[in-house]
Amino acid sequence: MKKFFTIIFCLGLIYSQANAQQWVSTQVEKRNVILEEFTGIHCGYCPDGHKIANQLVEDNPGRVFLVNIHAGGYAKPGAGEPDLRTTVGTPIDGASGLQGYPAGSVNRSTTPWAKNRDEWTNIASGILNQNSPVNVAVKSHVDFSTRELTTEVEIYYTSNSPELRNYLSVFLTQDNILGPQSDYGNYNPTNWNIDGKYRHNHVLRMAISSGGSFGESIDTTTKDHYEYRKYITTLPQNINNLDIELYNLHVVAFVSETQSNIYSGAGTEVEYDPSLKVDLGFEDKTEYPTSYCISSINPKVEVTNNSAQNISNFDIEVSIGGNKILKSFSGNLAPNQKTTIDWGEIQYSPHGLYSLIIEGFKNINGNTQKDMNFRNDTKFASGIGFTQKAFSLFTANFDDAVPQNMMFDLYQNPYVYLITSPRCGADNSLGALRFALHSIFGVSGLPVYMIFGEAELSKLNKHYLCFYYAYSDDNYGGTKPQIKVQLSDDCGINWEDVSNITPEETGNPSIHGNWYIPASTEYKPIQVSLEPYKTKDVILRIVVIPGTAGNALYIDELTLGPNILGLDDEVVDNNFTLYPNPADNEIRFGNENYVGKEFSIYSLVGELMMSGSNANNRIDISKLNSGLFYIKINNEILKFSKN
């Protein structure tokens, strides 16, 4: 076991005027937030927690401080993986009352402490508006040659605490630890490096204060009491075989009423001798596409030497669509000097959402030095892009994945799911897209955009956009959702409404409040003519706008080209014309007018399944698979279902 040697000096104001208040405020201040985030490298939703926590810090500069505690089963490393767990963090995780990961304790102010990530912002907002009985300030410095960390903490009480004894915790955290991370939804894309490693920040490494996980006592907790505490800690080379990089450290200090209820706290970056600083940073000068049609991108950056010394060489890399291109600088870049790195036009054919990552800096001065500030080393950019004339015919059946050349803009409304279990698709298919409508999601009036292109309509014989929908209000009494079909013939700069659809309710769940799972036969077809645009290259989008309430809307079996039947006729009511319906092996006609007529049977997506002549008003359908079908006969189209 490694031992951390810490010398603690505690001086009360009443004992030493030489250590009078320097940094801590003596005025009544609002509480700061200490967010202890419980996380793990194998937790797939944890990157979403990291992003939410980072947003809290960004929205409240100098008021929110993070301590990421890796603990529990999701934090257990596999072979060759880093171990980010600590003996300090595990007891806090155990006391938090968490029910799953990620979870977070916002000032240990709730019961239990741990709350789901969607609750952190509201809890934090309340705390930030409350007065604190105590203020905290912290400074920290490390000597690179001795690895000696000197940390100074000041506390000042502006009112009495109800407890005679409070507790001071001083934690060391580390940023920019690269390693694996499960991620179910690319929740935090800016933390991924080009090499596929995830950047772990705010990682709890050790306690600087005595008392372990829950701090050391403060024995005077009355108004106007001031205390100064100084800690000198010799940092080990590593903890759990994971290096402590001296230039990526922070200290977070906070005062809690007991083990619970953190009054307030503060944080600081650990400083070091500025003459040792090695820091290259860049400003992105790339001119990104303004339309959706993309054939190339020209990455360009302006690099500044923020170091205290000359830089003779470095490498910087760009990745676009998985294609990595390295650029090397060789020369003499003096402190504060700039140089431009230009990759030139890179040919690229995107198929929906594209991303570009620019990442520096490696091989600094012949790989003898490391960049000490990762915050200005990376640029992540993403956008919507399509290849020009990517297709003419297009099909999306949503049985396993979203097809190439299609993407979803979920910026305003992320509650869209590809559902394959239980089976719920049109035409007896496996999957479909589900759009959540319930008011609990808060999406009323917030659109989802399903975008696909670029379609070369001039190569089509028939010009239709077709799909199926199923919809349930489930007796919530909400206004109906809207489905819009829009088209752009200038690569997404301007959009034109082609069709506006108000769906009819097609069914309800067997139990009110459960998800509606439509039967294949409940879907309704939509056929939108694109005939006025048949000579153009276009990008299309389907816009789903939820109403005020409801259960779910489904969309499935989208096709561009022939209409759903491959015909232009309307489906007629066949309740008494065609029977039995559903049928097993044979369908019959109840009208002699159909005898001797030619027939064609089509699937829901317009595929011709069989054809022939109706000799005796009976047609053998035993070779058809189960599902919905249309039969064209006697210039009519009838709908039937095969068991």
Can you give the pLDDT at residue 162?
Answer: 98
One DSSP character per residue, 122-133 reads HHHHHHHTSBPS
Q: Rounded to an integer, what distance in angstroms lies between the CA atom of residue 361 and that of residue 355? A: 20
Confidence band of 14 (pLDDT split at 50, 70, 90): very low
Can you give the pLDDT at residue 19?
Answer: 57
Q: Provide the angle, in degrees to the nearest 10, between the axes of the packed helices 120-128 and 46-59.
A: 20
Q: How far apart are the first and last CA of the chain?
A: 69
Can you give the pLDDT at residue 572?
Answer: 54
Nearest to 35 by CA among 94, 127, 100, 107: 107
Can you give the pLDDT at residue 427?
Answer: 83
Q: What is the pLDDT of residues 393-452, one digit of tens each?
A: 999 999 999 999 999 999 899 999 999 999 999 988 999 999 999 999 999 999 999 999
Can you give the pLDDT at residue 58?
Answer: 98
Can you give the pLDDT at residue 15?
Answer: 33
Alpha helices in 153-204 (DSSP H): none
Higher-pLDDT residue of 254, 189: 254
Confidence band of 7 (pLDDT split at 50, 70, 90): low
- Among 287-296, 311-320, 468-477, 568-577, the minimum mean pLDDT is found in 568-577
In the chain the domains, ranked by start, together with CATH numbers, are: 5-272 (2.60.40.10), 275-382 (2.60.40.10), 394-561 (2.60.120.260), 578-642 (2.60.40.10)
Instruction: Please state the separation of Cα 303 from the chain's center in Å.
Output: 29
Nearest to 634 by CA among 562, 566, 579, 572: 572
* Identity of the residue numbered 514: N
Q: Rounded to an integer, what distance in angstroms lies between the CA atom of residue 373 and that of residue 378? A: 11
163: which residues sit within 8 A by CB, 6+ positions away?
Answer: 221, 257, 258
Can you give the pLDDT at residue 118?
Answer: 94
Q: Over pLDDT 70: what percentage of the chain?
A: 94
Confidence band of 600 (pLDDT split at 50, 70, 90): confident
Confidence band of 607 (pLDDT split at 50, 70, 90): low
Higher-pLDDT residue of 322, 470: 470
Q: Rounded to an integer, what distance in angstroms lies between the CA atom of residue 251 and that of residue 587? A: 77
Residue 72 has pLDDT above 90, yes or no: yes
Pairing of strands 64-70, 33-39: parallel
Q: What is the pLDDT of residues 312-366, one digit of tens each?
A: 999 999 999 889 999 999 999 999 999 999 999 999 989 998 999 999 999 999 9
Q: Over pLDDT 90: what percentage of the chain?
A: 82
What's the DSSP call for residue 377?
A: S
What's the DSSP call for residue 391?
A: B
Residue 18 has pLDDT above 90, yes or no: no
Give the 3-state secondary structure of residue 531: helix
Nearest to 235 by CA among 59, 5, 28: 5
Q: What is the pLDDT of residues 37-56, one digit of tens each?
A: 999 999 999 999 999 999 99
Cβ atoms of residues 140 and 173 within 8 Å: no
Residue 132 has pLDDT above 90, yes or no: yes
Confidence band of 211 (pLDDT split at 50, 70, 90): very high
Q: What is the pLDDT of residues 135-168, one digit of tens each?
A: 999 999 999 999 999 999 999 999 999 999 999 9
Q: Rounded to an integer, what distance in angstroms lies between the CA atom of residue 60 and that of residue 55? A: 8
As given in the structure block, the two tokens for residue 219 are: 């024995």
